[in-house]
Structure 1
Amino acid sequence: MSSFQGAHDFNIENLIQAQTYTTVTVGSSTSPLEVLRGHIEPGALHNSRERAEAPNKCHPDTRVAVQEEILRWVAEPIRPTEQILWVTGPAGAGKTAIAGSIADTCYERGDLAASFFFSSFSGEVNRCRKRCLVSTLAYQLRQHPALQGISREMLASIENDPAIFEKCLLDQLKLLILNPLGSFCDRGVGPSQPDAVWRPIIIIDGLDECGPDEEGDPSKVRSGLPPRTKENEHEEILSILKYALDSSAFPFRIILFSRPERAIRQFFSTELESGGFFSKIFLDEKYNPSLDIARYLRFKFASIRDRYRLPDNWPTEEQMEALLEAASGQFIYAATIIRYVEDTRNPPVIQLNHLLEVHSPSSTPLESLDALYTQIIDTSPNPFASLCWLWAIQKLIIWPHSPLALPALFCNQFLASIPGEAEYLLGNLTSLIDIPPIGDATSPYKFYHRTLLDFIGQPSRHAKVAGAVEAKNGLELQYSSGINLFITQYIKVLMNKGPCIPLEKGIELFLDYFGTLPVYSFASLYIARFSRTPAWVHDSLSSCDVPWWMNRITTTYNAMLGYHQFELLSIVHFGCPWYRCSAACRYWKKSILNCRTLVPIEYYSSENPQKRVPFWHTRSQLSTSWFWKNVHLLVPVDSLAVSDLDEGETSERMGERMEDT
């Protein structure tokens, strides 16, 4: 009896399709296509329902310049040495929105072969893991009209080895993509022919958000083996992409969107060193993001005005300027603004006013941005230590009274206790802060986003950073570990006459920068933190070579710089009993007076800044309280003639009299 008895609605096209699959489905209850379908991540597709529910594309008439540059690269002839375009930039610069818009454009033109959008914010775990990357790309390639010929080989690989999806990414790449493409090209068909005009593109977005499979799943952590890290995953994915690009059977070019994380930066740096070449676009001020943000905000505010029938002059130009200044070219901030203003808990006018009240402790409108910052900082091996470093760095680089611009190299030398600590703590945070390359001794750190500074300084906003709650114990960061880091490192420099890690060269430059640090502001915060100066501070200060420091200050710095240096002494004297100073306090006073003396000078009265008041030292003014308050009025002994000293006293005799007092 015929196998087709009772069949109906049957045509030759279906017969051919059935014959194709019969060779690979015999003996299997589930077809290879269904197996493949079960190992993809639909939410990672550029046109998935999950992505359509979120604003994952550029607003019309925004980011036009950068999109045109990317599309020009897509339209260029295929070059063997230029098959990957890396689009990178700081967090919140709009990379994912640009990737979504480019994917849509390429899809409409027929140039998009496949895409994968990683996302650590997605509810689907496979969007922040590598396990479905190759299978999802393969599924899309099989669906493309120009690549239908690879289907048989791909499905046969699954039929022959159903456990293929448990193999490493490289083996999956070979069996699901490269081998089928190679067989496809051997038959002399497809876009890989020399005269083909199709320029297929694969888009991968958010590579930096891909984490290890074992994360959060202790059952998968193998005993005795170190756990996988995000960097391991980034390196593996980049290595298989490079392997694919080096294959003659791989006709595609890749557009990769990511933050400039350590492993990704190193990959492209190695490519440059080995003679390879790639294109790179960094989303900076060259593309005038502020103009696009203004256009986006005005459009959104116009929609809100229409919805609530608000006056045409809302928001005011002053409010718009304040928002644009705070955005600092970051689209993440603009999107957060609109989400907050559209929140129905209050009328839009009130919501916007709350947003502009950035110093209001009850206003927390930037939850999305805080979550982003928290997520990035948590990628550091020690998130809270990284947060403390960021706090100290931003205090150092925004100090307004320093006559010298503090470079990142000095900040690293000053804050580090062990070699490589700066790279260890900050290496994964390059999407938040611009880190000068190794060997750059002059460039400073640069924070990409102003709201990051608010995030660092407000405990309510950074409380979810790993380790922050335990470390701060309800106190603000600046009153605990942040200020403790600065004061500890400062005292270590005083003790060592240099940084904790000895310098082979550049010690003089380091000490020059060190003399400009804003000690008084840090000392004030430190004193506010404790009721008494901790004993270890007094012990450490007692072992400092004060004469050496006094000699350096008198020969190197002017009076203003010496003033900053001596403000540390408020810590030395703080907490001393009224009847007798501590040993460290007395040691510093005596050492200072051995190098300096009190002389008749004129200074500006704090009560009346316009009046110059002559000052003469008297016996009553040599009290301890007077000394620590006016120590900046001392001038070097070496700069005076003997006749300048009142009553012919020497600095040694004055030191003795100070001890008696």
Structure 2
Amino acid sequence: MSLPFPSLFDRAKNWFSFSEKRRSRNHLDETSFFSHAQNVTVSGGQFIDASNVNDMRINYVNNVISNGKAVFELLEPYACLEATKDSSARHPPPLCHPETRLKIRNRLRKWLFSDHNEWKLLWVRGPAGTGKSAVAQSFGDSSVEAKRHGASYFFSRIAGRNKLETLVPTVVYQLAVTIPEYRSLIEHHLANNPLLLHNSPPVQFRQLIVDPFTTLQRERAREPIVIILDGLDECEGQKAQWEILEMITNAIRKSPDLPLRWLIFSRPEAHLKNVFSRYVECRREELIIDAECRENVEQYVKDQLIEIKIMYKDMIPVDWPSEDKLLELLNAISGLFVLASTCLNYIGGPEEADPQSQLDSLLTYMCHSQDIVFGNPLASLDLLYTQILEDLPPKGWEVTWRILAYMTHGSKIDSATVLSTPQVLSNFLQLDQRGFYKAVHGLHSIMKVSKPKDAALSRLQFHHSSFHDFLLNSTRSGRFTISERGAIMDIVRSGIYWYEVDVIHFHSHDGWAFDWDHKHDDLPGLLWVSDNRRFLSTSITRFLEYGQGWYKRGIIEHGNCRQSRFTTNNRSNHD
């Protein structure tokens, strides 16, 4: 006779207990295959003693090297190749518009190509939206043409390119591609120490970058090459950012003859300004919104409006836009590249396909708050983001909010990002394809929205992190602020729903022998499927297992929360 089925909270409690028991069983006996087993007969099969896992790793590394396989096979699992300069994940990358940002680009070129430059480290700082990544990308391209590019790493917390642990392997991978002699030394280092890629970043930095280049420089003097780190402030955690700078500056102090130049771009965050102020080895440059910048942005806007007019030549008058409206737009943009880009995306967006009315709508909104715009370019960006959200249909805001809530806070509970694609997240939130695209219809100018054929694998992300920051800051976004508590609780509620579906349909008789591998049929109730039902079910059940720590906290709070947290009429803040 089966036991009575427990309540929701009992099931949640048991769920956490299953995990604890599972972990405890794994530690009962690690010394043999069949501890205390009796009357067991095994026929055939192959057994590997897991206690020798380090030996297996060493043998694997030696086999790869001895068989002549490229060192890249060893590095790739530890690297983040999506963060490299020409990665397809970053396509199309931000680039300086022709004949813009010439002063800073010329100074960078002089810094790299000067034979007697005492500065081995250069920090380029600038506020959000001033075009730092575009300068980094453009300078990286020109250094490749001059055969002076060593490696690049473009950090992005939104895209998940923000882990300290992947930095050194990614840089080493690119250096090994560029310099054959260096690649041979790396193979030697990994053969002598097959566990090196499991060591800490400082150890890897010293043995895979500093030591090999010290050896190469002793053999013959080499021209300096540049290593570009863009968006250092988006690396996960201030401690990790400090550690990166310590690794670089220690190498410069102890090995000043290394043929490496380090170029770092970031926002002028207070903790970074404090750290850089202590480094006498560092030169500093600043991207500011000055007269040159405003001229550059003006040229960029004019050229892009010409492109938009060509694209919609059958709809737009020849004299569009008028001088008055162009001047009004340029004054509102106020020299901020990201704002210019966002405005142009809004004006020329293919979803509306009406640049003339889009420009009118944009200027009408901005002209009501010129007193706020004055003196604070980011305030103008905030106004644009507010307009984009204000234009969304009020009846659909609840669904839109849930998608944005995951995009802003989801990584705190979904560390493995298994829900981060449109199709997986939609099913998790119980949305069908139509519901998802309807909810994000007005957001194309600020977030990447993949086509349905790519929705299962292409990750959701904002075009620029400034929108992510805007949503988290209640002073800037007001009633559109997405609080951590509201977002986490919404994710937890959806998780509880799917946990209940999973348990009721597939685990009601598991007892204490819970089937953690979920070797059962696909989850029922998926609303957006193609031929990937298995993948969608697995993604959701993986999240249920990974997110259990937050579930414990969320379930406790869940009982004290209102079941409905959404107010669509006045779009009140979900907290």
Percent identity, please.
Answer: 27
> 2:186 is matched with which residue: 122, 136, 154?
154
| 1:331-376 per-position Cα deviation (integer Å, ceiling 9, x unaligned) | 1100001111121332111111222232699995557xxx9x999x
> 2:95 is matched with which residue: 46, 57, 62?
57
AA in 2 matched with 1:459: G
2:264 equivalent in structure 1: 256
| 1:134-184 per-position Cα deviation (integer Å, ceiling 9, x unaligned) | 11111111122xx32122221122233333223211101122112222232
| 1:202-259 per-position Cα deviation (integer Å, ceiling 9, x unaligned) | 1110111111xxxxxxxxxxxxxxxxxx111111111111122224262211111111
2:209 equivalent in structure 1: 177
AA in 2 matched with 1:137: V
Whether the 8 Å CA contact 2:293–2:335 is kept in 1: the answer is yes
Summarize the Cα distance change of 1:45–1:78 in structure 2 as closer, same or farther, 3 Å threshold: farther
> 1:322 is matched with which residue: 298, 319, 328?
328
Identify which of structures 1 and 2 has the higher relative contact order when contacts are C-alpha pairs closer than 8 Å and 6+ apart.
2
TM-score, scaled to structure 2: 0.53
Summarize the Cα distance change of 1:287–1:176 in structure 2 as closer, same or farther, 3 Å threshold: farther
How far residue 62 of structure 1 moved from its aligned partner, in angstroms, is 1.5
TM-score, scaled to structure 1: 0.47
Tell me whether 103-112 or 59-68 shows the greater mean CA deviation: 59-68
| 1:620-661 per-position Cα deviation (integer Å, ceiling 9, x unaligned) | xxxxxxxxxxxxxxxxxxxxxxxxxxxxxxxxxxxxxxxxxx
Question: What secondary structure sits across from 1:313 in the alignment?
Answer: coil
Summarize the Cα distance change of 1:34–1:345 in structure 2 as closer, same or farther, 3 Å threshold: closer
Summarize the Cα distance change of 1:277–1:181 in structure 2 as closer, same or farther, 3 Å threshold: closer
How far residue 469 of structure 1 moved from its aligned partner, in angstroms, is 8.6
Counterpart check, 1:83 vs 2:116: no
How far residue 288 of structure 1 moved from its aligned partner, in angstroms, is 1.9
Question: What secondary structure sits across from 1:128 in the alignment?
Answer: coil
After TM superposition, list the pairs within 5 Å mapping 1:251-650 onto structure 2. 251-271=259-279, 276-286=280-290, 288-309=292-313, 310-346=316-352, 347-358=354-365, 364-366=386-388, 456=475, 458-460=477-479, 462-466=480-484
Summarize the Cα distance change of 1:67–1:241 in structure 2 as closer, same or farther, 3 Å threshold: same
Summarize the Cα distance change of 1:236–1:287 in structure 2 as closer, same or farther, 3 Å threshold: farther
How far residue 27 of structure 1 moved from its aligned partner, in angstroms, is 7.1
Whether the 8 Å CA contact 2:65–2:187 is kept in 1: the answer is no
Question: What secondary structure sits across from 1:319 in the alignment?
Answer: helix
Whether the 8 Å CA contact 2:61–2:190 is kept in 1: the answer is no
AA in 1 matched with 2:335: G
Question: What secondary structure sits across from 2:277 in the alignment?
Answer: helix
AA in 1 matched with 2:167: L
2:106 equivalent in structure 1: 68
Question: What secondary structure sits across from 1:358 in the alignment?
Answer: helix
Whether the 8 Å CA contact 2:62–2:194 is kept in 1: the answer is no
Counterpart Cα distance in 1 of 2:340 and 2:474: 16
Summarize the Cα distance change of 1:278–1:362 in structure 2 as closer, same or farther, 3 Å threshold: closer
Counterpart Cα distance in 2 of 1:182 and 1:114: 17
2:228 equivalent in structure 1: 203
Question: What secondary structure sits across from 1:82 in the alignment?
Answer: coil
How far residue 277 of structure 1 moved from its aligned partner, in angstroms, is 3.9
Counterpart Cα distance in 2 of 1:33 and 1:363: 42
Counterpart Cα distance in 1 of 2:304 and 2:285: 28
The number of aligned residues is 341
Summarize the Cα distance change of 1:239–1:299 in structure 2 as closer, same or farther, 3 Å threshold: same
Counterpart Cα distance in 2 of 1:294 and 1:455: 31
Whether the 8 Å CA contact 1:128–1:210 is kept in 2: the answer is yes
AA in 1 matched with 2:140: A
Whether the 8 Å CA contact 2:83–2:152 is kept in 1: the answer is yes
> 2:87 is matched with which residue: 39, 43, 48?
48
Structure 1 vs Structure 2 CA RMSD: 3.7
How far residue 71 of structure 1 moved from its aligned partner, in angstroms, is 1.2
Question: What secondary structure sits across from 2:158 in the alignment?
Answer: coil
Question: What secondary structure sits across from 2:138 in the alignment?
Answer: helix
AA in 2 matched with 1:39: Y
Whether the 8 Å CA contact 1:33–1:155 is kept in 2: the answer is no
Summarize the Cα distance change of 1:289–1:139 in structure 2 as closer, same or farther, 3 Å threshold: same
- Structure showing greater radius of gyration is 1
| 1:391-442 per-position Cα deviation (integer Å, ceiling 9, x unaligned) | xxxxxxxxxxxxxxxxxxxxxxxxxxxxxxxxxxxxxxxx99xxxxxxxxxx
Counterpart Cα distance in 1 of 2:80 and 2:328: 41
Summarize the Cα distance change of 1:326–1:466 in structure 2 as closer, same or farther, 3 Å threshold: farther
Question: What secondary structure sits across from 2:284 in the alignment?
Answer: strand
Counterpart Cα distance in 2 of 1:374 and 1:332: 23
AA in 1 matched with 2:148: D
| 1:71-115 per-position Cα deviation (integer Å, ceiling 9, x unaligned) | 122222243x41111111100000000100000001101111111
AA in 2 matched with 1:66: I
